[in-house]
Each structure stands twice: as structure tokens, then as C-alpha cells.
Amino acid sequence: MSKAMKKVKVIKIDVDKCNGCRACELICSAFHASPKYSSNNPERSRIRLIRDPIKDIYLPVYAGEYTPAECTGRNKYVIDGKEYNECDTCRASCPARDLFKEPDSGLPLKCDMCDGEEEPMCVKWCLAKALTYEEREEEREEEPQLGEMEIGLESLVNRHGLQKVMDTVARLSKKG
Amino acid sequence: MGYAEAGFNLEIDLTRGSIERVPTDPGLSKLYLGGLGTNAKILWDRVPPEVEPFAPENLLIFGTGLLVGTPAPGCNRTIISTISPQTKLMAYSMMGGFWAPELKYAGYDKVVFRGKSPELVYVYIHNDKVEIRDASHLRGKGAVETQELIRKELKDPNVQVAAIGLAGENRVFTASIEQGRSSASRLGIGAVMGDKGLKAIAVRGTKDVNIAKPAEYMELCNDVLKYISDREEKPVPGVMPILAGLGSPQEMLHTDEKWHTENFSWGNSRTRRKEFWTKEIEEKWTETQENARTRLISCYNCPMKCGAIISLPGMSTYMMKCFSKLTYNMAAFVDDLDFGFRIAQRATEYGVDGFSTPQIMAFAFELREAGILTDKDFEGCPDDNEGKFYWLLDRIVRREGIGNILADGTHWAAQHIGNGAEAYAHNNIKKHEQLPLKLGMLNPIYFLMYCTGEKLNITQIEGQFPQAPFPTMEEREEFVKDWVHVPDEKFKQYLLDWEMRGENSNPYYPTVDMSVDIVDWQEKMHYIDDALGMCAGLSSFPLKPPYHIHNYPKFISAATGMEIDEDGLATIYKRNRNLIRAINVRRGLKREDEKPPEDHWRKRFPELEEQLLDAYYKFKGWNEQGVPTKESLHELGMDYISEDLEKRGILSYE
């Protein structure tokens, strides 16, 4: 398989510098509004601040991949003596929690690094510099291009499991 | 679809347990903006002067500023308005934090409470779902503790809670409303909340706040952010550190307290300790503060870090900001800052104002020393300064024994105690305790602010103009170079000509007219901030802030779509200024009440002081009693006020 260079965008999160102001949430929601900046609502943000001042917990978390099912088990982190809630460090839009879902539709949200901007807006608006932006090049194996049929089948497999899809295809072919 | 505003208020009658969602009149925003302005309009319309602070008819209004919830940095204030049990005048205490934006996102501009709940309750607002819930299990709980308990009960860490502590429940006149690192503390609004049987208001909102001209608005916001970054790199030279930068005084960050500890008075605002700040104290206090402070923190969408999380062994964590770090130490004559952080924790949980409360306690111990209060009043009180203060704080918030009398503040306590006690309540304006500051030469600008400010709290009236002249012309010229904030070029000249000594110095310079001009500018900024929900720390309080009267109209236009220019904004300011003045004169405020504490300045100038007041009233369009005239009210389209004042005999036909 051939190799290719890929740009990796990194937001570095320094939780010690976070002042808890949630400007990141606000500006993210504004940037992704349509038209751009026309509305504000942290609930639509693709970054959320897990915040518990009394426990000195300030943890910005970005929306990652959607997951159709929650994990089999859970993790609980204790860092520097501070116990985080289960799932606090997870980026997934997941049925187990309300985080990273459009408040109206429930559709999953995912951080797109504010594609097209010089740097993600949350970074720009974080004057405390808890969020900083880095880019680097990484060598990656090039993935084979999937055909249309394959994409469709793959999502069916994701949804119903491989066995069920194969059984169905087998049944359909008998009918034919 | 409305812009910037939610377009609805919640009306909650606690007696009947009824909740209504009421559309607001968009016309009112054009006249009064929002926040303080529209709060005041509601109080004028619905709370006549016969209504006592603790009557069910008194309203308790939680208002968001017009631009709260939009990306304007630092715009997050809740403006709480009611009638103060201490002054019997309008109280408008405010808080930063996260509560107001959450309410806006829930779809409301204000929550207006009336009536009294027979049982202790809290209100839970979650978008369109609003409930009055039982709070009997929260009775007596701390104000910070209550916020945590409610969050757990509702199983939502993102709920923002404003709560009272024991002091509010017991209607202590210095009771505050606490919320995270912020509190609305002055004038006993927590007591009104307690009187209404309301322990807390929990809010969660997931709706949109819309902007009329998004691209334009964002550009303005980006300019402000850029300005803040640049301004933080360039502190104003020649002024003390806490006034050189932006934000509320950065007392959680800075450990150097030479200025406060040596210039402000200790005890019952009596003693200056001019050599207090020794090397040894400095080292000790720095160490104490750095150990106590876990993190510097901000309010919603604000880069300034004015607050701190305070964690000390053996007590629960709380949040603090500004000068309350010192008030207990200085009132109690305790030289160990650790005491300040510890007693403030208890006081925050009780929910009391960190300015008035220590002064009330110092006042009480002075009365005991003078033999006006006796040992019998202090039975069981320890002898050491720290122990004394803890003991008395506990009595006051529980209204036990002498605490019951002191809980009404120094003015009313002195009236009650009699026997010469009145002379010890020496640091009040309009019955409200002031900063413990005693100075030499009368300052005409501050004289006017102290006398006429309806807020009764100098830090929320002052700003913009340097507190003292710069010694050299070079410094002054340097200062005015980038002073784009001035409403008019003449203000630069006022500063350039202001000298430390000689003809062009206090008290006769700035002249009467200049002083009136300057105070008008200062007030204008505060009134606009309080209507928009902007924090004074990024606007009306510091020197050279990012927001000013030249960019504010653009912000308002772009956010709301309302066409407004500088003149239009000035008219709204005048309207709000007159409206609040009218509420207070209708409640009996008179010229004779408009004076600083007798001993605030050692050198006083009675004739000049009268001239200053006369000129100020005239400038405002008020009569010699400080009552807005029929003509000036008419010009502002406020005939409804003059009609009412005439009916009541406060304004008479010439």
C-alpha cells in the first residue's frame, strides 16, 4: 500500500491554564451557526467544558466520533487526586449521555477544527491560552477508495452486524 | 425572531404558586435597553412607594442585560432589583458569573417574583419547563453548599444556581445572593429573597440567542478581544497596580496590599496603619494567599481572572474576588491573612455582604468599648479578635441576642440602641455602610459621586477618569495620547491642567462644571453597562477600557438591529438615570440625604459643596431638591413620571 503525508491538526489543552469562562463553547456555537455568527448557544458547541469549581476540575473536551452504542464498561480517572466523573474524558457523542448532540434534533456534533480558518475559533478566543493550536505532518498509509456500494454495505454492517447482512444477502440471492 | 433578547419574562407569584411566561414589549428596549433600565421601569410601574420591602407586593427582579448571551466579552451580569430593607430605596445589586446567560439561553430576559411562599421553596427553570420545588431540606444550608446540593438533586452539572444562605433566610439586612464566584451583595436583596421564602433559583437553558447583524457584531467582538490582549500588555503607568490594568481590582492575583492596608481604615473605619505593610507581613501574606488560591477564575465569556478558588485545610472550598479578602482582617484588627480567608468562607456560606458585615461587627465592638453595649450583650463571646468576630457573625446571621439588632445594619442598630450609638454609625450614606476610607482634602468629583449615586457603592459609580492628577505634564500628555474614550476632547484638557497642588488642584479644580461633566460621563458608562449586562471591570470601572460610549452604539445596533447612535444612547442613559432617581424621590429621597459621611474628608468646603450639588442637579434637569422637573421629564418622553410625582405632591406646578 502506498504512503502519503497527512496534515494533523492538534489542539493542545492545558487544563491548568483554563479560567473556566466557556468562551470556547460560546464562540464555537456562533461559528457553526447558519448564517455564521447569527446565533449563540453553548449547547450546540463542539467543545464543552467539564467544570466543577469546588473540585477544581476544568476540563475542555472536544466532540469526537459518533458512537451508536455505549462502552461495555466505564472508566473513572483520578488525576492529581481529583476524581473525574465517568466518561468525562471521552469525546464521543454517545447514547449514554446528552453531550455533543444538537439540542433540537439530537443529531451528533463533531469538532471540525473550524476548517478554513487560520486556527480553530475556540483557540483564538482563549486568551488564557489553555487552548493552543499546532499542525504537523504525518506519514499515513493511504486508504483504498471505497466504492459507493461498499460504503452502503459498510453502514448496514455497522448498524446490523456482518452476520445479519450476509444472511440477508444470501436470502435475497436465493429469491433471485 | 427577536435579536439579543429572549423576548419573554417569567412572572412567578410565590403566594399562589403561579408561573406565567409573558412576552415583553419590544418598545421598552428602545426606551430603556434592558437590564437595569427595564427592571427599574417594572419597579416604577408596579411597586408604589407605600409598599414596604418585606411586603408581598414588593418585587424581586432578576434581569439579564440586553447583550447577555451574545459573544460580547464580559457581558454576563444579572441585575437584581427590589426595594432595600436597609435604605427603603431601590436596590440594584448585580452579579457576574454564569446565571444570566443561562437564563437567556432558557428563553427569558427576566424573572419577576412577587408574593411570598408559605414554605421554603426553590425554582427550577429548564427552558419551557418551570417548577416551584420544595426546599425544606435546604433550610439552613450554606449558599455555596445549596448550589451543589441542587445540582446533584437535578443531576445536571450545567445547572446554574443563585442561592441565599442562612442570612437571607433570616432576613439579615446585609444578606447576599450567591452564585459561583459571584454575588449580589449590597442593600439586603438576599433578605428580600429570604422573605419571599425563596432559597434558590436553578436555571438550565439550551436555546439560541440571535444576532441581527452577525458579521458586523463579530468584528466588534474580535476588536474588543484584541484590545484586551494589547491593553493587558500595557498597564497604565503612574497608578497603583490594581488600577493599571483591566478587570475588577485584581486582588486574587496580586499579593501586594500595601495600598489598601495602609490607606484604608481599620476597625470601624477609624484607624489608619501607615506602617503596616512590612517585609515580614508581605512575605507572610504572599505565602498565605498562594497556598489558599487553587486557581484564578473568570465569569462567563470573560478573559479577566478576577476571582479565585480558595481551598484551605479543614474547610470547604469556596470562591472569592476583590476586596473581601481584606475587609474582615481590617475590621477585626487581625494581622494574619489566613483569618480573612477562613472567616470569608463562613460568611460566604451564610451569604452576607463582605463590605457591610465586617463593619457592623467592628461597630458593635466599638459600642461595647464605649460602654453603650454591655458585657451582657456579649455573653459567651471570646476575648481574642478572631474569636470575637466568628462569634458575632454567628449571632448576626441567626439573629440571636444582640445579633438580632445588628442584623439590620449600623444605621438601624444605632437607632435601636440609642444612648449615643448613632455617632458610631459614622460611615454611612443613605443608611448604607461605605468603604472604610477616610481622606484629607475634599475631592469634588468624588463628592458628587458619593452624594448622588443611587447605587450607594462607590466602586460601582467611579471609573474612566484618573482618581488623582499625574505629577508631571509629560505623564499627562502620555496618558491622553490614546485616550479615545473621552466623550469630548475637553476632558483631555481637564486632565492636562489638573495639578497636585496650587490653584488647579482639589478642591477647586476640577471646577464645579468640570466635575459635573466628569461625573456625568462616569455615570453614563455605569448606567449603560448595567442595562447591557456588561461587567464594569471591562467598561465603566478601569481606565481606558475596551468598551466606551463610541463603540457601544455599534454593539447595540449590530446585536439588536435597533438603529442607535451616540446621541440616542445618551438619551436612553438620561431616561434610566431619571427613572431611578424618580423611584427614589418618590420613596422620600431628599437633598439633605445626599451627603458623604461627615468624616470622609478632613477638609470640607460647605459653600463649594452646595455649589457642586446645585450645578449637578441643574445639569441633570432636576430642581434644587434633586427631583427631575416636569420639562426635563417631558423631553425624555416620561410624562408618566411627572404626572405621578405631581399627584403625590413631590413636584408642584410653579
pLDDT at B329 over 70: yes
Mean pLDDT of B422-451: 96
- Buried b / exposed e along A151-173 (16+ C-beta atoms within 10 A): eeeeeeeeeeeeeebeeeeeeee
Segment A67-87 shows an average pLDDT of 92
φ/ψ of B449, rounded to 5, equals -65, -45
Across the interface, whether the CB atoms of A103 and B217 are under 8 A apart is answered no
Q: Find out whether B54 and B85 touch, Cβ atoms under 8 Å.
A: yes
The per-residue pLDDT for B416 is 98
Cell numbers 493511504 correspond to what residue? Answer: A142
**In chain B, positions 134-193, which contact chain A (CB-CB < 8 Å)?**
144, 148, 157, 180-181
End-to-end Cα separation, chain B, in angstroms: 47
Give the H or E element holding residue B13.
strand B8-13
Please name the residue of chain A whose CA is at the shortest distance from the CA of residue B205.
A43
What grid cell was written down for B52? 414596604
The lowest-confidence range among A92-101, A151-160, B639-648 is: A151-160
Cell of B421: 450609638
pLDDT tens per residue across span A19-42? 999 999 999 999 999 999 999 999
Q: Per the structure block, which three cell numbers stand in for B9?
A: 419574562
Instruction: Give the residue carrying C-alpha cell 464594569.
Output: B536
CB B535 within 8 A of CB B228: no
Residue B286 near residue B255 (C-beta atoms within 8 A): yes
Chain A: residues touching B (Cβ < 8 Å):
19-23, 26-27, 30, 33, 35-44, 50-56, 58, 103, 125, 127-128
Q: Grid cell 439633605 — which residue?
A: B592
pLDDT given at position B551: 98
Place of cell 449514554: A96
CB contact burial B321-353 (16+ within 10 A = b; e otherwise): bbbbbbbbbbbbbbbebbbbbbbbbbbbbbbbb
Q: What is the mean pLDDT of residues B246-257?
A: 88
Percent of chain A having pLDDT more than 90?
A: 73
Alpha carbon distance B349, B142 (integer Å): 4
What are the chain B neighbours of A27 within 8 Å (beta carbons)?
A: 71
The per-residue pLDDT for range B452-475, each reduced to its tens digit, is 999 998 888 899 999 999 999 999
Question: In this model, does residue B654 exceed pLDDT 70?
Answer: no
Apex B164 CA angle, B162 and B166, nearest 5: 160
A24: closest CA among A91, A121, A100? A121
What's the mean pLDDT in A106-113?
Answer: 95
Distance in angstroms (rounded) separating the CA atoms of residues B340 and B357: 13
Q: What's the half-sphere exposure (Cβ side, CA atoms, 13 Å) at B60?
A: 30
8 Å CB contact of B302 and A21: yes
Burial of B449 (0-12, 13-18, 19+ CB in 10 A): buried
Q: What is the pLDDT of residues B401-425, one digit of tens each?
A: 999 999 999 999 999 999 999 999 9
Q: The C-alpha cell of A112 is what?
A: 471540525
Q: How far is B32 from chain A (nearest CA, A)?
A: 23
Residues of B with Cβ-Cβ distance to A53 under 8 angstroms: 180-181, 297, 309, 317, 319
Cα(B275)–Cα(B254) distance, integer angstroms: 19
Helices (H) then strands (E): counts for chain B: 25, 20
Q: Quick one: pLDDT band at residue B251, thresholds 50, 70, 90? A: confident
> B48 and chain A: CB distance < 8 Å anywhere?
no
Helix then strand count (H, E) for chain A reads: 4, 7
Residues in chain B: 654
| Interchain CB distance below 8 Å, B297 and A53 | yes
Write the CB contacts of A11 (distance below 8 Å, at least 6 apart in sequence). Answer: A62, A113, A120, A122, A123, A131, A132, A133, A134
Distance CA B566, CA B553 (A): 6
Task: Report how far apart, in Å, the C-alpha atoms of B602 and of each of B259, B293, B438, B515, B597 are.
Answer: 19, 38, 8, 20, 11
Average pLDDT, chain B: 96
**Residue-level length of chain A:** 176
Cell of B622: 432636576
Residue B226 has pLDDT above 70, yes or no: yes
Using pLDDT thresholds of 50, 70 and 90, give the confidence band for residue B1. Answer: low
Interface test with A, best of B159, B211, B304, B560 (most A CBs within 10 A): B211
CA distance B238 to chain A (A): 26
- What is the nearest CA distance from B256 to chain A, expressed in angstroms? 22
Lookup result for grid cell 455568527 = A37
Q: How far is CA B519 from CA B178, B417, B525, in A?
A: 30, 37, 10
According to the model, what pLDDT value does residue B180 have?
87
What is the per-residue pLDDT for A141? 82
Share of chain B above pLDDT 90, in %: 95
For the purposes of burial, counting CB atoms within 10 Å of the CB of A78, is it exposed (0-12), middle (13-18) or buried (19 or more)?
Answer: exposed
Spatial distance between the Cα atoms of B154 and B393, rounded to a whole number of angstroms:
32
Taking the C-alpha atoms of residue A38 and residue A20, their distance in angstroms, rounded to an integer, is: 24
Across the interface, do A40 and B208 touch by the CB < 8 Å criterion?
A: yes
B54-106 pLDDT tens trace: 999 999 999 999 999 999 999 999 999 999 999 999 999 999 999 999 999 99
Which of B206, B219, B315 to mutate to probe the A interface, most A CBs <10 Å?
B206
Please answer whether residues B283 and B583 qualify as being in contact, where contact means their C-beta atoms are separated by less than 8 angstroms: no
CB spacing of B105 vs A22 below 8 angstroms: no
Chain B residue nearest residue A98, CA to CA? B156
Task: Residue B464: name the closest of B445, B485, B444 by CA.
Answer: B485
* CB contact at 8 A, B91 and B189: yes
Residue B135 has pLDDT above 60, yes or no: yes
B218 with A127: Cβ contact below 8 A: no
- The b/e string for B36-52 (b: 16+ C-beta within 10 A; e otherwise) is bbbbbbbbbeebebebe
Is the ipTM here above 0.90?
yes
Is B207's Cβ below 8 Å from some Cβ in A? Answer: yes
Q: Render pLDDT for B263-307 as a digit per residue (tens, 0 to 9).
A: 999 999 999 999 999 999 999 999 999 999 999 999 999 999 999
DSSP B10: E
pLDDT value of residue B588? 97
Tell me the C-alpha distance between B495 and B499, whole Å: 9
* Per-residue confidence band for B199, with pLDDT thresholds at 50, 70 and 90: very high
Per DSSP, the residues of B173-239 read: TTB-EEETTEEE-GGGHHHHHHHTTEEEEEEE----EE-SSHHHHHHHHHHHHHHHHHHHHSPPTTS
Q: For the stretch A50-61, what's the b/e string if a residue is b when 16 or more beta carbons lie within 10 angstroms of its beta carbon? A: bbbbbbbbbbbb
User: By the 8 A CB rule, do A92 and A76 touch?
Assistant: no
| Cis bond before residue B545 (omega within 30° of 0) | no
pLDDT of residue B323: 82
Q: For helices A148-160 and A162-175, give the axis angle rounded to 10 degrees.
A: 120
Do B209 and A38 lie within an 8 Å CB cutoff? no
Residue type, B286: T
Q: Which residues of B touch A103 (CB under 8 A)?
A: 206-207
Contact B559, B72 (CB under 8 A): yes
Q: Please state the rounded mean pLDDT for residues A47-69.
A: 95
Put residue B267 in one of left, alpha, beta given phi > 0 → left and psi -120 to 50 → alpha. left
- Residue A71, pLDDT > 80, answer yes
DSSP characters for B132-153? Answer: EEE-GGGTT--HHHHHHHHHHH
- Half-sphere exposure (Cβ direction) of B133: Cα atoms closer than 13 Å: 18
pLDDT score at A3: 82
Q: What is the mean pLDDT of residues B32-36?
A: 98
Rounded CA gap, A100 and A143, in Å?
Answer: 28
Contact status, residue B114 vs residue B12, Cβ threshold 8 Å: yes
| B110 confidence band (pLDDT: 50, 70, 90) | very high
User: In the predicted model, what is the mean pLDDT of residues A41-61?
Assistant: 96
Burial of B565 (0-12, 13-18, 19+ CB in 10 A): exposed
Closest among B123, B70, B131 to B100, alpha carbons compared: B70
Q: Quote the minimal CA–CA distance from B529 to chain A in Å.
A: 19
For cell 448557544, the residue is A41
Q: What integer pLDDT is reported at residue B181 of this predicted model?
A: 85
The predicted-structure confidence for B504-533, as pLDDT tens digits, reads as follows 999 999 999 999 999 999 999 999 999 999
Torsions phi, psi of B22, nearest 5? -115, 125
CA distance B66 to chain A (A): 14
Decide: residue A16, CB within 10 A, 0-12 exposed, 13-18 middle, 19+ buried: exposed
Lowest mean pLDDT among A109-123, A137-151, B106-120, B122-136: A137-151
Can you read off the three cell numbers belonging to residue B243? 488600577
In terms of CA atoms, which chain A residue is nearest residue B180?
A: A53
* CA gap B248, B251 in Å, rounded: 8
- Using the beta-carbon criterion (under 8 Å), do B214 and A38 form an inter-chain contact? yes
Confidence at B653, pLDDT banded by 50, 70, 90:
low
Termini Cα distance of chain A: 37
C-alpha to C-alpha distance for A49 and A61, rounded to whole angstroms: 6
